[in-house]
Protein backbone atom coordinates (compact mmCIF):
# COMPACT_ATOMS: atom_id res chain seq x y z
CA UNK A 1 0.00 0.00 0.00
CA UNK A 2 2.81 2.44 0.85
CA UNK A 3 4.66 1.78 -2.37
CA UNK A 4 1.44 2.19 -4.39
CA UNK A 5 0.74 5.52 -2.68
CA UNK A 6 4.26 6.77 -3.40
CA UNK A 7 3.98 5.76 -7.06
CA UNK A 8 0.68 7.65 -7.30
CA UNK A 9 2.26 10.76 -5.78
CA UNK A 10 5.20 10.43 -8.15
CA UNK A 11 2.90 10.25 -11.18
CA UNK A 12 1.10 13.42 -10.11
CA UNK A 13 4.40 15.21 -9.51
CA UNK A 14 5.58 14.11 -12.95
CA UNK A 15 2.58 15.93 -14.44
CA UNK A 16 3.22 19.18 -12.59
CA UNK A 17 7.02 19.07 -12.61
CA UNK A 18 7.39 19.58 -16.38
CA UNK A 19 10.92 18.19 -16.28
CA UNK A 20 12.26 15.20 -18.14
CA UNK A 21 13.31 12.77 -15.43
CA UNK A 22 14.01 9.08 -15.23
CA UNK A 23 10.93 6.89 -14.96
CA UNK A 24 11.54 4.53 -12.09
CA UNK A 25 10.53 0.90 -12.06
CA UNK A 26 8.04 -0.30 -9.48
CA UNK A 27 10.66 -2.38 -7.70
CA UNK A 28 12.68 0.72 -6.73
CA UNK A 29 13.03 1.13 -2.98
CA UNK A 30 11.02 3.76 -1.09
CA UNK A 31 14.16 5.76 -0.23
CA UNK A 32 15.48 5.78 -3.81
CA UNK A 33 12.09 6.72 -5.22
CA UNK A 34 11.69 9.59 -2.76
CA UNK A 35 15.19 10.84 -3.60
CA UNK A 36 14.39 11.07 -7.31
CA UNK A 37 11.04 12.80 -6.67
CA UNK A 38 12.65 15.40 -4.41
CA UNK A 39 15.69 15.87 -6.62
CA UNK A 40 13.76 16.26 -9.87
CA UNK A 41 10.77 18.31 -8.74
CA UNK A 42 11.81 20.39 -5.75
CA UNK A 43 15.56 20.93 -5.74
CA UNK A 44 16.79 23.54 -8.27
CA UNK A 45 19.99 22.41 -9.87
CA UNK A 46 22.53 23.45 -12.41
CA UNK A 47 22.17 22.08 -15.91
CA UNK A 48 22.95 23.03 -19.48
CA UNK A 49 19.28 23.70 -20.14
CA UNK A 50 18.41 27.34 -20.72
CA UNK A 51 15.27 29.26 -21.65
CA UNK A 52 15.75 29.75 -25.39
CA UNK A 53 14.25 32.43 -27.60
CA UNK A 54 12.18 31.48 -30.62
CA UNK A 55 10.64 34.30 -32.62
CA UNK A 56 6.83 34.13 -32.44
CA UNK A 57 6.56 34.43 -36.21
CA UNK A 58 8.61 31.23 -36.57
CA UNK A 59 6.00 29.19 -34.68
CA UNK A 60 3.71 27.29 -37.09
CA UNK A 61 0.35 29.02 -37.71
CA UNK A 62 1.17 31.87 -35.32
CA UNK A 63 0.89 34.43 -38.12
CA UNK A 64 -2.59 33.12 -38.91
CA UNK A 65 -3.89 33.23 -35.33
CA UNK A 66 -2.07 36.07 -33.56
CA UNK A 67 -3.82 38.98 -35.37
CA UNK A 68 -7.24 37.54 -34.51
CA UNK A 69 -6.35 37.11 -30.84
CA UNK A 70 -4.87 40.62 -30.62
CA UNK A 71 -7.93 42.04 -32.33
CA UNK A 72 -10.02 40.73 -29.45
CA UNK A 73 -7.77 42.41 -26.89
CA UNK A 74 -5.69 39.41 -25.80
CA UNK A 75 -2.12 38.22 -26.26
CA UNK A 76 -1.26 34.81 -27.68
CA UNK A 77 1.17 33.14 -25.26
CA UNK A 78 1.43 29.68 -26.78
CA UNK A 79 0.15 27.91 -29.89
CA UNK A 80 0.67 24.19 -30.45
CA UNK A 81 -0.80 22.45 -33.49
CA UNK A 82 -0.38 18.76 -34.26
CA UNK A 83 -2.24 15.97 -36.02
CA UNK A 84 -3.05 12.64 -34.43
CA UNK A 85 -4.39 10.15 -36.94
CA UNK A 86 -7.05 12.17 -38.80
CA UNK A 87 -7.77 14.74 -36.07
CA UNK A 88 -6.02 18.06 -35.63
CA UNK A 89 -5.29 19.10 -32.04
CA UNK A 90 -4.76 22.77 -31.27
CA UNK A 91 -3.70 24.14 -27.89
CA UNK A 92 -4.00 27.89 -27.41
CA UNK A 93 -2.86 29.81 -24.32
CA UNK A 94 -3.95 33.45 -24.03
CA UNK A 95 -3.52 36.25 -21.53
CA UNK A 96 -5.10 39.68 -21.06
CA UNK A 97 -4.70 42.86 -19.06
CA UNK A 98 -7.64 41.98 -16.81
CA UNK A 99 -6.97 38.26 -16.62
CA UNK A 100 -8.63 35.47 -18.54
CA UNK A 101 -11.85 33.67 -17.68
CA UNK A 102 -14.15 31.14 -19.31
CA UNK A 103 -15.95 33.77 -21.38
CA UNK A 104 -12.64 35.09 -22.70
CA UNK A 105 -11.55 31.60 -23.76
CA UNK A 106 -14.91 30.99 -25.40
CA UNK A 107 -14.67 34.24 -27.34
CA UNK A 108 -11.21 33.40 -28.66
CA UNK A 109 -12.26 29.83 -29.45
CA UNK A 110 -15.15 31.05 -31.61
CA UNK A 111 -12.91 33.48 -33.46
CA UNK A 112 -10.08 31.02 -34.10
CA UNK A 113 -12.08 27.93 -35.09
CA UNK A 114 -13.14 29.04 -38.60
CA UNK A 115 -9.68 30.43 -39.29
CA UNK A 116 -8.01 27.18 -38.25
CA UNK A 117 -10.47 25.14 -40.31
CA UNK A 118 -9.55 27.22 -43.36
CA UNK A 119 -5.79 27.08 -42.76
CA UNK A 120 -5.69 23.37 -41.91
CA UNK A 121 -8.34 22.54 -44.52
CA UNK A 122 -10.21 20.33 -42.10
CA UNK A 123 -13.19 20.40 -39.75
CA UNK A 124 -11.95 17.39 -37.83
CA UNK A 125 -10.19 19.18 -35.01
CA UNK A 126 -10.10 19.71 -31.27
CA UNK A 127 -9.28 23.24 -30.14
CA UNK A 128 -8.44 24.00 -26.50
CA UNK A 129 -8.14 27.61 -25.30
CA UNK A 130 -6.85 28.23 -21.78
CA UNK A 131 -5.29 30.88 -19.56
CA UNK A 132 -1.58 30.58 -18.69
CA UNK A 133 -2.31 29.87 -15.03
CA UNK A 134 -0.99 31.76 -12.02
CA UNK A 135 2.40 30.04 -11.94
CA UNK A 136 3.07 29.19 -15.57
CA UNK A 137 6.52 27.88 -16.42
CA UNK A 138 7.75 29.82 -19.46
CA UNK A 139 8.53 27.58 -22.42
CA UNK A 140 9.87 30.23 -24.79
CA UNK A 141 11.87 33.33 -23.88
CA UNK A 142 9.60 35.37 -26.18
CA UNK A 143 6.95 35.00 -23.45
CA UNK A 144 8.83 37.49 -21.25
CA UNK A 145 7.58 40.39 -23.38
CA UNK A 146 4.03 39.02 -23.28
CA UNK A 147 4.15 39.08 -19.48
CA UNK A 148 5.51 42.62 -19.15
CA UNK A 149 4.30 44.05 -15.85
CA UNK A 150 3.81 40.61 -14.29
CA UNK A 151 5.67 39.12 -11.34
CA UNK A 152 8.15 36.42 -12.28
CA UNK A 153 11.02 34.46 -10.81
CA UNK A 154 13.98 33.02 -12.67
CA UNK A 155 16.72 30.55 -11.79
CA UNK A 156 19.95 32.39 -12.56
CA UNK A 157 22.81 29.97 -13.31
CA UNK A 158 25.42 32.63 -12.48
CA UNK A 159 24.43 32.73 -8.83
CA UNK A 160 22.64 29.35 -8.63
CA UNK A 161 19.62 30.94 -7.02
CA UNK A 162 16.19 32.37 -7.77
CA UNK A 163 15.70 36.05 -8.66
CA UNK A 164 12.23 37.48 -8.30
CA UNK A 165 10.88 40.69 -9.80
CA UNK A 166 8.51 42.36 -12.23
CA UNK A 167 9.18 42.15 -15.97
CA UNK A 168 9.98 45.63 -17.31
CA UNK A 169 10.97 44.69 -20.85
CA UNK A 170 12.53 41.94 -22.95
CA UNK A 171 14.12 41.55 -26.34
CA UNK A 172 15.59 38.60 -28.24
CA UNK A 173 18.52 38.11 -25.85
CA UNK A 174 17.62 39.21 -22.32
CA UNK A 175 14.94 40.28 -19.87
CA UNK A 176 14.95 43.35 -17.61
CA UNK A 177 13.46 43.02 -14.13
CA UNK A 178 12.49 45.38 -11.34
CA UNK A 179 13.53 43.48 -8.21
CA UNK A 180 12.07 46.03 -5.81
CA UNK A 181 15.28 47.83 -4.98
CA UNK A 182 16.98 47.85 -8.35
CA UNK A 183 16.67 47.00 -12.02
CA UNK A 184 18.68 44.14 -13.46
CA UNK A 185 19.14 42.64 -16.90
CA UNK A 186 19.52 38.87 -17.23
CA UNK A 187 20.60 37.20 -20.49
CA UNK A 188 18.48 34.24 -21.55
CA UNK A 189 21.52 31.97 -21.64
CA UNK A 190 21.86 32.50 -17.87
CA UNK A 191 18.27 31.46 -17.15
CA UNK A 192 17.68 27.81 -16.35
CA UNK A 193 13.98 28.19 -15.56
CA UNK A 194 11.40 30.96 -15.36
CA UNK A 195 7.86 30.98 -13.97
CA UNK A 196 5.13 33.44 -13.07
CA UNK A 197 4.74 34.14 -9.36
CA UNK A 198 0.99 34.64 -9.40
CA UNK A 199 1.51 38.19 -8.10
CA UNK A 200 1.63 41.55 -9.91
pLDDT in tens, 143-200: 999 999 999 999 999 999 999 999 999 999 999 999 998 999 999 999 999 999 987 6
User: Checking DSSP bridges between strand 75-84 and strand 87-95, what pairing results, if any?
Assistant: antiparallel
Q: What angle do CA 123, 118, 106 make, to 5 degrees?
A: 70
pLDDT in tens, 79-94: 999 999 999 999 999 9
Kindly tell me the sign of the dihedral angle through the C-alpha atoms of 130, 132, 136, 142.
positive
pLDDT at residue 198, as a whole number: 81
38 contacts: CB under 8 Å, gap ≥ 6 = none
Which CATH code, of 3.30.300.70, 3.90.1210.10, 2.60.120.1440, 3.30.300.160, is assigned to 56-130? 3.30.300.70
Distance, in Å, from the CA atom of 49 to the CA atom of 138, rounded to the nearest integer, reads: 13
pLDDT in tens, 109-149: 999 999 999 999 999 999 999 999 999 999 999 999 999 99
Maximum CA pair distance of the chain? 55
Q: Which CATH class is domain 143-196?
A: mainly beta
Residue ranges covered by each domain of the chain: 2-41, 56-130, 143-196
Contact 76, 70 (CB under 8 A): yes
Global pTM reads 0.74
pLDDT in tens, 23-65: 333 334 444 444 444 444 444 444 557 889 999 999 999 999 9
Contact 106, 90 (CB under 8 A): no
- Number of Cβ atoms within 10 Å of the Cβ of 174: 19
Kindly tell me the sign of the dihedral angle through the C-alpha atoms of 10, 11, 14, 16.
negative
Amino acid sequence: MIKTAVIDIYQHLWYFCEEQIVILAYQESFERLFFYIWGACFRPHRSSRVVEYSAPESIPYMKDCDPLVRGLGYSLVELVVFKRQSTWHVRVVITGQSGVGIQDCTKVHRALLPRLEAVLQSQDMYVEVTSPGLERVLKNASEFSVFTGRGIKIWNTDISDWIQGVVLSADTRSVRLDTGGSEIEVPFDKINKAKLTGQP
